């Protein structure tokens, strides 16, 4: 266990960064799904992702001594989180439309639906 969290042990740092990234992306996915589950609109997802981006910046700052107040890194975090949050939102909304209004809509893909003929 010695050397696991030291500066010279870069392998463990990459694993920890990967775990933090996966937790953040999973949280964004679940955030999008939660907004859709409440039948709320997509703009609410943007607000939640902006807050989640601040949390991710804080995690990078506190765990890896990265910059906390960096607009560039914040925007990268927000864009990645937004992609996953919108995907979660669209996937859940598609399931809702197809399951709740099965007489009106068919699934056309994982993220969209179409009117029945």
**Residue-range domain boundaries for the chain:** 10-115
User: Would you state the pLDDT for residue 117?
Assistant: 81
User: Would you state the pLDDT for residue 46?
Assistant: 97
- Give the pTM: 0.86
Residue 85: closest CA among 25, 23, 21, 19 = 25
User: Would you state the pLDDT for residue 6?
Assistant: 54
Number of helices (H), then strands (E), in the chain: 3, 2
Residue tagged 């399951």 (tokens) = 99
> Consecutive 10-residue runs of the chain (117 residues): their mean pLDDT?
56 85 96 96 97 95 88 94 98 96 94 91
């Amino acid at each position: 266990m010695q050397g696991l969290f030291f500066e010279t042990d870069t392998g463990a740092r990459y694993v920890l960064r990967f775990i933090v990234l996966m937790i953040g992306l999973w949280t964004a996915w679940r955030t999008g799904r939660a907004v859709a589950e409440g039948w709320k609109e997509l703009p609410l997802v943007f607000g939640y992702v902006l807050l989640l981006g601040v949390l991710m910046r804080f995690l990078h700052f506190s765990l890896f001594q990265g910059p906390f107040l960096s607009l560039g890194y914040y925007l990268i975090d927000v864009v990645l989180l937004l992609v996953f949050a919108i995907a979660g939102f669209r996937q859940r909304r598609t399931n809702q439309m197809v399951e709740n209004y099965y007489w009106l809509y068919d699934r056309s893909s994982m993220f969209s639906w179409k009117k029945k003929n």
